[in-house]
Chains A and B, each alone.
Chain A
Amino acid sequence: VATFTDAAELHDLVRHYLAHPEERAWLAAAGRARVLAEHTYRHRMQRLLETVAAGDHERLGSRPREETVADAARREGDTPLGDLLRRLPTATPFKLDGVVQGLLHRAGDLSDPEAILLFLHQFDELYVREQRA
């Protein structure tokens, strides 16, 4: 992990890594691996639940809960929609708002399943939301 203590040092680091693409790629990959292994929301949430609900797991587990993208992905199976849902944080509710928010903050080109969900979200805003309320 590259660290810095002031803005000038940050500047130097940015210039260094811009000038050394291989070193940059290696550092990025190593950083990503470490984050995924130790620092995801899953890790934090696990720790939180262990602390808060120690001894009360049974009661927490018996609460009805809304369908998450992980549930939906299991039902969907091996389809493009299932693949997309599996890439989202597992606890995201399986609703257009949450799913589309997750998509909009990504850079890069939209895949077909992403565009279809965006279409449904727009349709929902135009026609369905009012009826539902």
Chain B
Amino acid sequence: VRKILVVNLTRFGDLLQTSPTIVGLRENHPDAELVALVERNFADVARGLPAVDRVWELDLDRLGRMLIGETGDGLRAAYRLVDDTVNALRDERFDLALNYSSSKMSAVLLRLIGAPDTRGWTMSADGHRLIAHPWSRLFAASCLTRRQAPFNLVDYYKRVAGVAAGPQRLFFEVPADARRWAADFLAAAGVPPGAPLVAFQLGASRPVRRWPAAHFVAVARTLHAAIGARFLLCGGGGDRPVASEIATALGPLAIDACGRSSVAGLGALLEHADVLVTGDTGPMHMAVAVGTPVVALFFGPALPFDTGPYAADHVCLHAEVACAPCDHNVTCLEPFCRDTLAPAAVAEAVIARRAGDWQALAAAAARWPALAWYRTGFDAEGLADVVPLGARPPGRAEVQRRAYRALWKTVLEGTAPRTVSAALPRDAAVLREVAGLAAEGAGRALGVEALAADARDLDALEAAARRLEELDARLFRLGAMHEAAALLVQVFRFEKENLEGQDVGALARATRLVHEELAARARLLAEMLEPAGAVRPALPQGGNHASVR
């Protein structure tokens, strides 16, 4: 591999989350040129990622200005801008293109760039979405069925790129001028080096993800009394009103940095903080990248399992309410989950994490049973994990998540199947039903395959194909009805969607394999969740057979 393109058109947190993959690619391909394609506003973040040789900036703001008038010269100019960009990207002749943005827009772009090995979202020649790579499909499916989100986003990124053994942390290189700026800023605010300093990230991408200002004030009062800390208020220009509300309440204890720093400056400021208290935000990943411990608050749509801090020994507090996580498209009228995260509990977490006292954290977890407390780390196979703090028995979602982790590690990586801590017999029964239907589907696909070989009886072929479709509709329905089957069925959907070609016989054969794999996976998952817990090594093949790219 001579030249690699990494595409990430999302925001800066996501870009930081690609950093271990890029460093891993550098380790695996020391002589390859690594190019990052990002939105212009985040080009500086991309330049702060080690191992990026060159940054390609996509000026989406400019494209937006061209299109605002909808028609005429603007539309023609926008066309030319994309045409020129695509031609220039094609001239680069990338051998490998990794798309880490999950949008149709990026899928079309990757198709246009046309690298011979393209992974992630892309598009077929006739304009249909393809999700190229088993880990990419699993990630896309888990975004739709998040309660069982088995793995951290960064681990999907790494495995799609083939760098599973890459670093277990995030990276950002703070430039020297940003470091000088941060030191001056804190000195001007009267913070001597080494004085206790706790940072608060106030903002979030949407109001529903924002922890209330009054809660930050309450945490600050407790922390000041306990450890004499001062407080660095972080956020964008849009968070100024919240920042001044908190600054007014806290007086000279608060140092308001909202809207005052570049992204690099934020990294430099966070280097000075003892702990960052934050929701699931870009600055959370920045703190992780510069090595500052975080106490991360997960509520609303956020979950620690898939987008939590990617490094060991951070603390996640999750408001494990019945409706969590909420759908990204839902507007909640009663966001009580934010208050479930009690300021007193958060203050305890900050004090104990600052001291590195994991026993105190476990004890605090026991005192606040309405919250799920987690410590981040990595499992035996090197995948990021959140380990419960305290002695709380695992709930149903946790058992399902554990079983799903074991399943995908077996299916995609060949790890030996293992038992989970508790049986879920009802879920196991649903999975047996899925396995039975999928096996029947494999039989029906075999029927289609046989009829396709002898194309004379078109009526019979059509009827057989329809019978297969009916069965798949029943499978989709099971996936929609039962949480335990949702992720399995969604991955199956994506695998079917990814089958390409015109030859009915070949398609029927590939469809049969996809059904056989679903049956095998559902059986394995059922075995893990059945009371006996006896797992037989039953899986005949991996998830990366030739029919599904």
Contacts and interface: CB of A to CB of B under 8 A. Distances in A.
B126 A112 contact: no
Interface string B247-287: 00000000000000000000000000000000000000000
Contacts of B126: 107-110
B540 interface: no
Contact of A96 (B60, B64, B75, B109): B75
A114 B83 CA distance: 11
Contacts of A50: none
B482 interface: no
Contact of B76 (A72, A110, A122): A72
A15 B360 CA distance: 80
Nearest to A117: B79
B188 interface: no
A126 B105 contact: yes
A63 B16 CA distance: 54
B103 A128 contact: no
Interface residues of B, number: 26
A128 B64 contact: yes
A4 interface: no
* Residue of B67, B103, B112 with highest tally of chain A CB at under 10 A: B67
A72 B74 CA distance: 11
A39 interface: no
B103 A119 contact: no
B82 A116 contact: yes
Contacts of A93: 71
A122 B68 CA distance: 14
A5 to B, nearest CB: 22
Nearest to A75: B76
B241 interface: no
Size band of the interface chain A makes with B:
20 to 34
Interface in B57-78: 60, 63-64, 67-68, 70-72, 75-76, 78
Q: Is the interface of A mostly helix, strand, loop or mixed?
A: helix
Interface in A52-103: 66-67, 72, 75-76, 81, 93-96
B331 to A, nearest CB: 16
B108 interface: yes
A122 B105 contact: yes
B86 A76 contact: no
Interface string B102-113: 011100110110
Contacts of B108: 115, 118-119, 122
Contacts of A115: 108, 111-112, 123, 127
A94 B112 contact: no
Given A115-B111, A118-B127, A124 B71 contact: no
Kindly name the residue among B79, B82, B109 whose own CB sees the greatest number of chain A CB atoms within 10 A.
B79
B330 interface: no
B225 interface: no
Contacts of B79: 81, 113, 116-117, 120
A1 interface: no
Contacts of A67: 71-72
Given A72-B76, A75-B76, A116-B83, A131 B68 contact: yes
B60 A123 contact: yes
Given A93-B71, A118-B127, A127 B60 contact: yes
B333 interface: no
B125 interface: yes
Contacts of B75: 72, 94-96, 120
A105 B233 CA distance: 52
A39 B313 CA distance: 73
Contacts of B68: 128, 131-132
A3 to B, nearest CB: 22
Contacts of A45: none
Interface of B: 60, 63-64, 67-68, 70-72, 75-76, 78-79, 82-83, 86, 103-105, 108-109, 111-112, 123, 125-127
**Sorted from nearest, which 4 A-B pairs have the closest CB atoms?**
A122-B105, A109-B125, A119-B108, A110-B127
10 contacts: A66-B71, A81-B76, A112-B83, A113-B79, A115-B123, A116-B82, A122-B108, A123-B60, A132-B68, A132-B70
